[in-house]
Structure 1
Amino acid sequence: MTTKENETSSKSDQPSFPKEINGLPVEIDYDGAGRPFPSVSVDDKKFSLGIIKTMVPGGNIVQHVQTIRNIIARDDDVLICTYPKSGTHWIWEIVSMLRKRKAEYDPRIKETAMLEFLSKDQMEAMESPRNLNTHFPLRMLPKDLLEKKRKIIHVMRNPKDVAVSLYHHFKSLKIGEGSVYPGTFSEYLSLFYSLDMGAKGGWNKYVTDFEKFAKDNPDYPILPLYFEDIKEDPKREITKVAKFLDVPYTEEFITAVAERCDFENLKKAHQEIKDDYITRKVAHDGKQFMYRKGIVGDWKNWFTVAQNELFDETFERWMSGSELKFKFSL
């Protein structure tokens, strides 16, 4: 978290950053070692400069957010919404198989249907049905899609495992010759609190905004799922998705999809079948980094006792009043 102590101690050796990006002021958060982490805020969502430079089409985050908001929805669009590192590749592959009615891997990667990566022309050129996916929060979703009540699948994951997975994600992403984030996990936790658990709108606001939206719009077709539930009983959860999408199925088909979408099988398919030109391009070592462990409870290998206690206190405070129930182990 940003503190006056961190800010003071880091100014002498702080790298120079532009004062603004796309007309937005650059904000500086600091990790536990006083290392600066620059970002800009759009609608109270922070975007790191490293992510903007490596992933946003054209590098203009303001323009791209507006492009996404103005996407024209199609009748058969389905949108998968997840906070980063919450099982997006997993559920996208499941949805792709279910809608094709074949337990076969799509040679494309889910980034080819991800709103954050695509220009307006690319999105319009996509064949139907579109299995779109995004990490953008509810308030940034396409207005037309929401107004026309296109189906949304929202997958959630416990924030401790999200924090660990995000740390490794940032370590793997490159900016220039280095990583988007070069520090240790303990140092990174301060950033997770300020960037991803912060009052301005991080993980906690992402999941609770969807929770409130579902309560306020009971007739909207939105399916909430938990990463941990899919891991615990994939066939049960895949069946939920099939019913939600009105896809005819048999027990044999659901079993085949569950087997093909087992984490290790997905990881192997990603390496041997997928044309992963996008993530290899932005990887620090040139290798795929989207599939790491895919387990529940890996946070126990990273959090100290003191860090876990502080995280629990923060989690309880941010989730006060929410009815969402997260599993931190299986």
Structure 2
Amino acid sequence: MDCLPGVENLGPNSTKDSLLTDVEGILYPKETTRYWEEIQNFKARPDDLLICSYPKAGSTWMQEIVDMIQHGGDPEKCARAPIYQRIPFIGFSLPFSIPTSIEKIEAIPSPRTLKTHFPVQHLPPSFWEQNCKIIYVARNAKDNMVSYFYFHNMINIIPDSGSWDEFMENFIAGKVCWGSWFDYVQGWWKAKDHHPILYLFYEDIKEDPAREIQKIAQFLEIDLSASVLNRIVLHTKFENMKTNPLVNHSDLPFLFDQTTPPFMRKGKVGDWKEHFTVAQSERLDNICAQLFAGSGLTFRTQL
């Protein structure tokens, strides 16, 4: 692939093993940059709904919650297809997929619900132009880092994570796929002041799923009865999601290594305590305190 403006292909001897491409300082899977112009020219529609998060921050969970809300809490309607077909990922195609993911999305009748991991600066501009509703899910850096560490070792389109210490340095420096977590969560936090964005926290959903699901339904202007709400809460519990083949990606063995920890591993708040040293924990706390000072953006690392 020829280099795009602002795009640097990583050489075969790079530490990223040529699996990623740099676009304006952010690393992306090659299959994202292969169709970069097509993605950036994507034509959003005013009634599109976009679900967005940093990788491993709860986007698949949110996809299933939203699909259940949109279908009246009927799990049979949500069993019509795998989640990545019901709510497709804009910004990624399976290697050499024909048609491309963009072509498949363009063929979906309105209203569409889509997913992405793009930071604000690389979201296709038409989403802003059409003033589309966006649901953003943020997860605390420590748990997000742990989950992403394991994810790197199970998916075959991005480099392995290396050692825990190596991965932590790359994560802090933003030298991981989809870029800096710190820039990412702040970018979307600022964007909510100017666009119809519902900014949610993974920890809040874990603490009180019924309360947060009601927030989502209100944002979507959908009324939920108590019985429907209860069905959605039960259906989207982590234990049920983990064993649901329509959401746990067990049907994609060519993409995800099924011998490693699964795509849905623990879904806990506080699992970071099993991985971080005291010094590492304090270091990340200090970085967050410095970067988020005065922004109003705060994260909980335990419940």
TM-score (norm 1): 0.79
The alpha carbon displacement at 1:106 in A equals: 3.5
The code of the aligned residue for 1:192 comes to F
From 149, 154, 167, the counterpart of 1:188? 167
CA distance in 2: counterparts of 1:315 and 1:134, whole angstroms: 24
Match of 1:83 in 2: 54
The code of the aligned residue for 2:110 comes to S
The code of the aligned residue for 1:74 comes to R
- SS of equivalent to 1:269: coil
- SS of equivalent to 1:282: coil
* Cα gap change, 1:329 to 1:132, in 2 (>3 Å): same
CA distance in 2: counterparts of 1:129 and 1:237, whole angstroms: 23
CA distance in 1: counterparts of 2:154 and 2:134, whole angstroms: 29
* Cα gap change, 1:92 to 1:274, in 2 (>3 Å): closer
Match of 2:103 in 1: 121
* Cα gap change, 1:162 to 1:221, in 2 (>3 Å): same
* Cα gap change, 1:136 to 1:292, in 2 (>3 Å): same
The alpha carbon displacement at 1:261 in A equals: 0.3
- SS of equivalent to 1:183: coil
CA distance in 1: counterparts of 2:244 and 2:150, whole angstroms: 21
CA distance in 2: counterparts of 1:287 and 1:201, whole angstroms: 24
From 48, 73, 76, the counterpart of 1:102? 73
The code of the aligned residue for 1:188 comes to F
Match of 1:46 in 2: 27
The code of the aligned residue for 2:24 comes to D
Structure 1 residue ranges without an equivalent (≥5): 1-19, 29-34
- SS of equivalent to 1:256: helix
- SS of equivalent to 2:47: coil
CA distance in 1: counterparts of 2:293 and 2:80, whole angstroms: 42
The code of the aligned residue for 2:22 comes to S
Assess if the C-alpha contact under 8 Å between 2:150 and 2:161 holds in 1: no
- Is 2:122 aligned against 1:151? no
Match of 2:8 in 1: 25
Select between 110-119 and 282-291 the one with higher mean Cα deviation: 282-291
Per-residue deviation, residues 192-229 of structure 1 (Å, max 9, x unmatched)? 1122699x9511111111122222x1xx3210100000
From 294, 305, 312, the counterpart of 2:267? 294
* Cα gap change, 1:229 to 1:153, in 2 (>3 Å): same
Structure 2 residue ranges without an equivalent (≥5): 94-99
Assess if the C-alpha contact under 8 Å between 2:171 and 2:181 holds in 1: no
- Is 2:165 aligned against 1:165? no
Assess if the C-alpha contact under 8 Å between 2:60 and 2:247 holds in 1: no
The alpha carbon displacement at 1:22 in A equals: 3.7
Q: Based on CA coordinates, which of the two structures has the bigger radius of gyration?
A: 1
- Is 2:197 aligned against 1:239? no
CA distance in 2: counterparts of 1:43 and 1:85, whole angstroms: 22
The code of the aligned residue for 1:234 comes to P
Select between 297-306 and 283-292 the one with higher mean Cα deviation: 283-292
Assess if the C-alpha contact under 8 Å between 1:280 and 1:286 holds in 2: no
Per-residue deviation, residues 119-174 of structure 1 (Å, max 9, x unmatched)? 22111122433210010111122222211111100110001001100000001122
* Cα gap change, 1:265 to 1:319, in 2 (>3 Å): same
* Cα gap change, 1:258 to 1:325, in 2 (>3 Å): same
Match of 2:236 in 1: 261
Match of 2:96 in 1: none
* Cα gap change, 1:274 to 1:304, in 2 (>3 Å): closer
The code of the aligned residue for 2:134 comes to I
Match of 1:111 in 2: 84
The alpha carbon displacement at 1:232 in A equals: 0.2
The code of the aligned residue for 1:238 comes to I
Match of 1:224 in 2: 199
Match of 1:210 in 2: 188
CA distance in 2: counterparts of 1:274 and 1:311, whole angstroms: 31
CA distance in 1: counterparts of 2:248 and 2:274, whole angstroms: 32
* Cα gap change, 1:106 to 1:44, in 2 (>3 Å): farther
Per-residue deviation, residues 216-275 of structure 1 (Å, max 9, x unmatched)? x1xx321010000000000000000000001121111111101100001111113xx459
Select between 104-113 and 236-245 the one with higher mean Cα deviation: 104-113
The alpha carbon displacement at 1:180 in A equals: 2.5
Counting only pairs closer than 5 Å after superposition, residues 245-324 of structure 1 correspond to structure 2 as 245-270=220-245, 273=246, 276=249, 279-285=252-258, 289-324=262-297
Per-residue deviation, residues 5-63 of structure 1 (Å, max 9, x unmatched)? xxxxxxxxxxxxxxx974543458xxxxxx9335432133222xxx42xxx2xxxx435
- SS of equivalent to 1:91: helix
Task: Give the total of aligned pairs.
Answer: 287
* Cα gap change, 1:286 to 1:114, in 2 (>3 Å): farther
